[in-house]
Amino acid sequence: MQRAKLAFVLVTAIDMRYPAVITIGSYEISLTIAEISIERLRIIERLAKTLALGSDTYRSGRISAEKTSILLSYIEEFKLKLKEYPTSDLVIIASSALSEAGNRYLVCEQIRRRFGIEVLLLNKNQEMAYNHLAVRGAYANFQQAAAEGLLIFEIGYGSVQLSLYTEGELCFSQNLSLGTLRLHERLRNLAKTADYADLIKEYIAGDLQHFQSFAPKKTEIKHLIVTGSSVSNRFVVSAPEEHTTLTLADCHSLEQNLLRNQDYTSLLLPTVTLIEQAILFTGVEQAILFPAVPADGVIYQLQQTGTIEQLPTTVIEEAISAAKRIAARYRTDKRHVNTVVRLALCIFDQLKSLHRLTDHDRLLLEISCNLHNIGKYFSMHDDQDISFALLQAMELSGLSDEDLSTIALLVRLHRGNFYTDSHYCRLKPAEQIRLTKLLSILVLANAADAGHSRKIRQIKLQRRGKYLDFKLFSGEDIALELHALKREFPILTDLYGLEVRVKQEKYDE
Amino acid sequence: MSEAHLYRLLTTLIDQQPVQETVEQPYINRELSWLEFNLRVLGEARNVENPLFERLNFLAITCSNLDEFFMVRAGSLHELSRVSPQSTDITGMTAREQLEEIVNYVKYFNKKQYSTYHRQLLPALAKVGIHIVRSEQLTITQREYLADYFQEEIFPVLTPIAVDSSRPFPLIANRSIYLYVGFEESEEITGFDDYRPFALIQIPQVLPRLIRLNEAPNTFILLEDVIKLFIGEMFPHLTVRETVCFRITRNADFAIEEDEIDDLLVEIEDKLKLRRRGEVIRLEIDKKVSNEVQELFVDLLGKPDAIIKIKGPLDLKFVSQLPALYRSFNGEQVLNFAPFTPSVPPELVDFLEREPSAIFAEIARGDILLHHPYQSFDSVVRLIEQAAADPRVLAIKQTLYRVSGNSPIIGALIKAAEQGKQVLVLVELKARFDESNNIHWARRLERAGCHVIYGVKKLKTHSKITLIVRREETGIRRYVHLGTGNYNDQTAKLYTDLGLLTCRDDIGEDATAFFNMLSGYTVPESWRQLVPAPRLLKNRLIQLLDREIRYAQRGERSYVIAKMNSLSDREMIDKLYAASQAGVKILLIVRGICCLRPGVKNLSENIRIHSIVGRFLEHSRIFYFYNNGEPRIFLSSADWMTRNLSRRVELMFPVDSPACRSRIEDILALQMSDTERAHRLKSDGSYERIDRRGRVRLDSQNVMIKQMMENEYE
């Protein structure tokens, strides 16, 4: 009886997983340990060591050997700490201080050699996505706020990210280099002046105006969530009663307190000033504070998908939604784009057994389809080059630099003749093959709507021996599309060694 | 006990307190306040209602208290007078002025102490057949017996040190009794400088201080008297001119520059060696000493701050040995407090008596309050032992400040580490006079595989907290023990302390963060329930008092009851004065130092202060804020002293469970009603026993023993 009881206990306890995330931030190195099951996510430990890597990167562009050594020793300490729990996964992520450092790969290699773990260098998009995930996990009314008009104002040490949600979707996002440590580094010589707070405000105001000029007009912001690594409950502690909101008056009083106490002026003052400015320009009564950090988002992702490789649905939706908004901003032909997306995904799904690409590749394909014509807003001739340049600087929630690079290349090369393209040629063989597989689908989908008239309603693919049969379902004359498609079929032959046959089938409504 | 009853008690006590119109000085000097505390302990030695052997213990305690006072407090004032002669305390006195006041007070105190010994305790001892005789009272056979004893037992361990021109004055050990033996000058021996020849003999500490005489089983003579009696046998060729007992107390207060050291443990070991050579602060010397010998000591010992002439044996701590030496022939006599067995908390009966693993389930059912020594500290020890043995326990973390000589707690931690659990122990190496003991335990724990940390730089870690991390069906659960007293199974039998066992998530999270902070990780931005010092505790207390002030100003009921060991932080005192002036009723139960002057018109007329000195050392810290009808009750490891609030890592924690809160209200009400062990602090800084007229006689500690034995609190 006793044994049976124990066995039950062990089985249920094993259902729990204990992932851990080490975050290499700009100002501190932190460890987050969580307990997750299908039903529940609980952060069970959060600890940090101060290490201002950001001051190295933002001043000299590289992480010093001394700080690298300290960083390694802190990771070592965290590894010891993890022995206190039955830790299941350990993920190391790095924010801008390391991601932007010139010697980032060398530092990462040292970590890999010593601990056997690859560092996930987060770009702004990924940081933003993980922060949004964290906020979603922490704020029960997120969906309602996003539907009513919500600005998430993430204050990091390196940058500030503004993300605007309307009608439940992310509609605009902008990163500004106004992180607290960055501000401090830039304005440190003025820190002792009496009007330091005003100087910060002045410095911030310019960039915030820039955001306003680009943000969608006629958007009412009813909710302001302030989050990010620079935001903490320290503000709340000094408030008279426990709460997690700040009004303009609170900000002002905190600002005065901080100015009186010179010890606290370094990073907290820029943070308070940023919050104050955010309240002012959104016009909300109060900011809701969430000390959420990207690590929480990673934990949430691990709970949702079981792996760091796979993005959670919400991130995918946000990325696609952002791509659609960008496409709209550059006035692309919405109906054509939607057709290309539909057909491309249809081809992707039917060729799975041949291409063996991942769900993440499918997402990149979908985004590329959405964005494949954005350069035409500027020029009808070199539009792919313009698209390429635009996409490399684009902010797409949750996507890594490699992802953005893949999307940019797909868009650049989708007009064919890519074998001689210099960017394509520089790719490693495996990358070339992956990119070509994705590219083949994009160009086929695009060709299938060559006349932008959505004549092909459906495509069915079937492999028969050495043939790959295309059945195009349409009730109209598709001579133009057939011509365009036939021109692109050689890619498929090059990729899979199959001869492509094509046939039109009547589309029955 | 209802809240209304507490309020009635409090207002009655404050209303009955006489109010002083004005005072010159709003604060009381902390050193003199401490000396007043020692006087209250002496009062228990003089209290004929206490059993005789307990009175002896109280007398011995006053001696060890005073030793420590001179080593630490007078020592630090001595140092301060050297480095910063102009700086003053909150009463405006310089260090030198304070030392002078201390010496005057101690002279008065010593007279009272020895009068207690000679006029009260020796006659009382004689009544039960115990005699401490002087050499001139010995019979011939006793003298012969002692002559043999001297030759066989004492002589071999004596090491006389002759001091003359070729042999410098030796290092005199701290708190050890010496015998000065002065000789007439002769061919065999000459003096040095202007002094006549002499030798020093350290009274051996390896021998018992009290020697039982033959033919009289309860008659004793002091070791130094026997040595004096046969001193001629040690120096057969010299003529002994004068023998004088003396004893010195050295400055044992040392500072560590933690910024400049690599290894704290090694540094403290080095400093401990220096403590043996600290400056002489006090010289206790036989009253019959000649002027010449006194001058010699003053000269050679570097002008001690306090020279106390003693009429009687030095260092009266020996009296506490009498109960163990006593042989009773008259049947049962009430010479000690009635023995009592600490009760087992009803929630933990199963755990302690039948099913060790039940402890975690019991804590999970609800918070458990432990009141020591009335309730056994064994439950805490067994909890650690059970955690060490439990396969589901992943980690144990604990802070240790003072532990007993053979600590079962440490044994359990070592066992846990050997079982492969993660064990983190903070051993505070800077715990005064426990440094060597703690270094020893730190090394033992490290050898066993525990992760030992030595505390936070420049702060002493005084908090008492244990965290047990356990993996259960529902996930990780944290069990926390928070206490007001040390993890010391021996002192837990003598000190009154409170402990809370809980597995509340918010406290568990804070406890985890607290240990991370102690381990050198960044300080958490916010705390959910625990309030740590030095960063937040004082602010929080001020905030709680401010809230009471606001209620009082609005004309609403507002009161505070706080129990602690000492109150000396000026900011806290000023806030209490402000609260009193706003109309907040305040009752403080402060066992020791109290620098606040109560009962002064327009300053502190709403403040009354009690001090309870009894069988057990009152040690728990309880803070009760009425909070407009929703009382906040906290327990803490911290006193309201600047050192606790600003220079130590301490914890304050809330008690929210209704059952536990009700028990704490009972404890406070009981202590406020005490008429037997309580004293009231008067506005002149002195204390008086509680006026019993019209009150039911009540000894709070005795009532507590009775209640706990009967589990009445349920």
DSSP B196-237: PPEEEEEPPTTS-SEEEETTEEEEEEEHHHHHHHTHHHHSTT
Residue B257 Cα, gap to closest chain A Cα (Å): 23
Determine contact: B156 vs chain A, CB below 8 A: no
CB-based contacts of B218, cutoff 8 Å, min separation 6: B128, B129, B130, B131, B212, B325, B326, B327
Over residues A400-419, mean pLDDT? 86
Judge whether residue A331 has pLDDT over 80: yes
Angle at A24 between CA A20 and CA A29, to 5 degrees: 80
Q: Taking CB atoms and an 8 Å cutoff, what residues of chain B touch A230?
A: none
Residue of B nearest to A36 (CA): B475
Select the highest-mean-pLDDT range: A196-205, B143-152, B159-168, B233-242.
B143-152
Residue B416 Cα, gap to closest chain A Cα (Å): 13
CB contact under 8 A, B513 and A47: yes
Q: Taking CB atoms and an 8 Å cutoff, what residues of chain A touch B395?
A: 84
CB contact under 8 A, A16 and B475: yes
CA dist A246 to A160, A262, A273, B529, Å?
A: 18, 22, 12, 22
Round to whole Å and give the CA distance between A462 and B127: 116
Judge whether residue B181 has pLDDT over 80: yes
Which residues in B84-110 are b (16+ Cβ under 10 Å) and which e?
eeeeebbbebbbbbbbebbbebbeebb
CA dist B72 to A61, A488, B40, B263, B281, Å?
A: 54, 92, 20, 24, 10
Cβ atoms of A481 and A447 within 8 Å: the answer is: yes
CB-based contacts of A156, cutoff 8 Å, min separation 6: A26, A95, A96, A127, A179, A180, A228, A229, A230
If one counts every other C-beta atom within 10 angstroms of the C-beta of residue A290, the result is 22
Judge whether residue A352 has pLDDT over 60: yes
Over residues A235-250, mean pLDDT? 59
Confidence bin at B272 (pLDDT 50/70/90):
low
Q: Can you say how many angstroms the Cα of residue B128 is from the centroid of all Cα atoms in its chain?
A: 31
Over residues B444-454, mean pLDDT? 88
If one counts every other C-beta atom within 10 angstroms of the C-beta of residue A466, the result is 9
Helix/strand/coil (H/E/C) assignment for every residue in A116-166: CCCEEECCHHHHHHHHHHHHHHHCCCHHHHHHHCEEEEEECCCCEEEEEEE
- B481 noted as active-site residue: no
Dihedral sign, Cα of residue A234, residue A237, residue A243, residue A245: negative
CB contact under 8 A, B536 and A237: yes
pLDDT on residue B383: 92
| Residue of B392, B476, B516, B535 to mutate for A, most A C-beta atoms under 10 A | B476
Region of poorest pLDDT, from A284-298, A360-374, A472-486, B244-258: B244-258
CB contact under 8 A, B521 and A42: no
Confidence bin at B184 (pLDDT 50/70/90):
confident
Average pLDDT, chain A: 83
> Pairing mode, if any, of strands A90-94 and A20-24?
parallel
Confidence bin at A239 (pLDDT 50/70/90):
very low
pLDDT on residue A237: 38
Round to whole Å and give the CA distance between A203 and A186: 10
Judge whether residue B263 has pLDDT over 50: yes
Which has more pLDDT, B454 or B714?
Answer: B454
Confidence bin at B708 (pLDDT 50/70/90):
confident
Residue B329 Cα, gap to closest chain A Cα (Å): 58
CB contact under 8 A, A86 and B520: no
B101-135 residue pLDDT tens: 999 999 999 999 999 999 999 999 999 999 999 99
Three-state secondary structure call for residue B467: strand
pLDDT on residue B686: 96
pLDDT on residue A8: 38
Q: Taking CB atoms and an 8 Å cutoff, what residues of chain A touch B451?
A: 80
For A455: left if phi > 0, alpha if psi spans -120 to 50, otherwise beta; the answer is alpha
pLDDT on residue A391: 78
Query: Which amino acid appears at position A484 of this protein?
Result: A
Over residues A234-245, mean pLDDT? 47
Which has more pLDDT, B332 or A498?
Answer: A498
Structure tokens at B61: 């305690």
CA dist A128 to A270, A287, A395, Å?
A: 20, 18, 9
The DSSP output letter for A87 is: -
pLDDT on residue A315: 83
- Beta-ladder partners of B422: B395
Q: Which helix (H) or strand (E) holds A417?
A: none
Confidence bin at A509 (pLDDT 50/70/90):
low
A-B C-beta contacts closer than 8 Å = 53
Region of poorest pLDDT, from A163-177, B509-523, B612-626, B640-654: A163-177
pLDDT on residue A3: 35
CB contact under 8 A, A86 and B471: yes
Percent of chain A residues past pLDDT 70, beyond the cut: 90
Nearest to A12 among B469, B473, B516 (CB): B473
- What are the start-end ranges of the E strands in B20-169? 131-133, 161-163
Confidence bin at B258 (pLDDT 50/70/90):
low
Q: Taking CB atoms and an 8 Å cutoff, what residues of chain B touch A237?
A: 525-526, 536
Residue of B nearest to A7 (CA): B473
Residue of A nearest to B520 (CA): A49
pLDDT on residue A307: 85
Residue of B nearest to A9 (CA): B473
Structure tokens at A36: 């997750």
Residue A446 Cα, gap to closest chain B Cα (Å): 52
Round to whole Å and give the CA distance between A222 and A209: 19
Nearest to B476 among A44, A232, A291 (CB): A44
pLDDT on residue B123: 96
The DSSP output letter for A264 is: G
Select the highest-mean-pLDDT range: A125-129, A162-166, A348-352.
A348-352
Q: Report the candidate in B317, B197, B184, B192 with the shortest Cα–Cα distance to residue B247.
A: B317
pLDDT on residue A131: 86
Region of poorest pLDDT, from A401-415, B321-335, B411-425, B506-520: B321-335
Judge whether residue B679 has pLDDT over 50: yes
The DSSP output letter for A391 is: H
Over residues B237-249, mean pLDDT? 91
CB contact under 8 A, B471 and A37: no
A69-106 residue pLDDT tens: 999 999 999 998 999 999 888 999 998 889 889 999 99
Q: In chain A, what is the straight-line distance between the N-terminal and C-terminal CA atoms, in Å?
A: 65
Q: Taking CB atoms and an 8 Å cutoff, what residues of chain B touch A236?
A: 526
Judge whether residue B269 has pLDDT over 60: yes
CB-based contacts of B409, cutoff 8 Å, min separation 6: B380, B381, B384, B398, B400, B403, B487, B489
CB contact under 8 A, A84 and B526: no
pLDDT on residue B502: 97
Cβ atoms of A290 and A225 within 8 Å: the answer is: yes
pLDDT on residue A273: 85
Cβ atoms of B607 and B586 within 8 Å: the answer is: yes
B276-287 residue pLDDT tens: 678 899 999 999
Cβ atoms of B567 and B593 within 8 Å: the answer is: yes
| Residue of A16, A22, A47, A51 to mutate for B, most B C-beta atoms under 10 A | A47
Nearest to A48 among B451, B471, B521 (CB): B521
Residue of A nearest to B529 (CA): A242
CB contact under 8 A, A48 and B395: no
Over residues A340-347, mean pLDDT? 93
For B574: left if phi > 0, alpha if psi spans -120 to 50, otherwise beta; the answer is alpha
Residue A80 Cα, gap to closest chain B Cα (Å): 10
CB contact under 8 A, A16 and B422: no
Which has more pLDDT, B267 or A361?
Answer: A361
Percent of chain B residues past pLDDT 90, beyond the cut: 66
Determine contact: B475 vs chain A, CB below 8 A: yes
Determine contact: B417 vs chain A, CB below 8 A: no
Judge whether residue B240 has pLDDT over 60: yes
Judge whether residue A233 has pLDDT over 50: no
Q: Taking CB atoms and an 8 Å cutoff, what residues of chain A touch B475?
A: 13, 16, 35, 37, 40, 42
pLDDT on residue A5: 37
Judge whether residue B209 has pLDDT over 70: yes
Confidence bin at B332 (pLDDT 50/70/90):
low
Judge whether residue B255 has pLDDT over 80: no
Nearest to B522 among A50, A85, A291 (CB): A50
Over residues A131-152, mean pLDDT? 87
CA dist A62 to A67, A68, A446, Å?
A: 10, 10, 43
pLDDT on residue B191: 65
Judge whether residue A234 has pLDDT over 60: no
> Helices marked H in B533-636 — which ranges?
537-553, 570-582
pLDDT on residue A209: 75
CB contact under 8 A, B521 and A233: no
pLDDT on residue A236: 41
Determine contact: B394 vs chain A, CB below 8 A: yes
Of B462, B610, B619, B679, the active-site residue reads B462
B376-408 residue pLDDT tens: 999 999 999 999 999 999 999 999 887 777 789
Judge whether residue B558 has pLDDT over 90: yes
CB contact under 8 A, B475 and A42: yes
Judge whether residue B530 has pLDDT over 60: yes
pLDDT on residue B190: 67
| Residue of B424, B479, B519, B522 to mutate for A, most A C-beta atoms under 10 A | B522
Over residues A392-410, mean pLDDT? 84
Which has more pLDDT, B166 or B473?
Answer: B473
CB-based contacts of A209, cutoff 8 Å, min separation 6: none
Percent of chain B residues past pLDDT 70, beyond the cut: 93
CB contact under 8 A, A48 and B471: no
Residue A401 Cα, gap to closest chain B Cα (Å): 32
Residue B12 burial (C-beta neighbours within 10 Å; 0-12, 13-18, 19+): exposed
A1-57 residue pLDDT tens: 333 333 333 434 557 899 999 999 988 899 999 999 888 888 899 899 999 898 888
Round to whole Å and give the CA distance between A383 and B598: 86
- Measured CB to CB, residues of chain A less than 8 Å from chain B are 9, 12-13, 16, 18, 28, 35, 37, 40, 42, 44-50, 80, 83-86, 232-234, 236-237, 291
Region of poorest pLDDT, from B99-103, B346-350, B494-498, B572-576: B346-350
Average pLDDT, chain B: 90
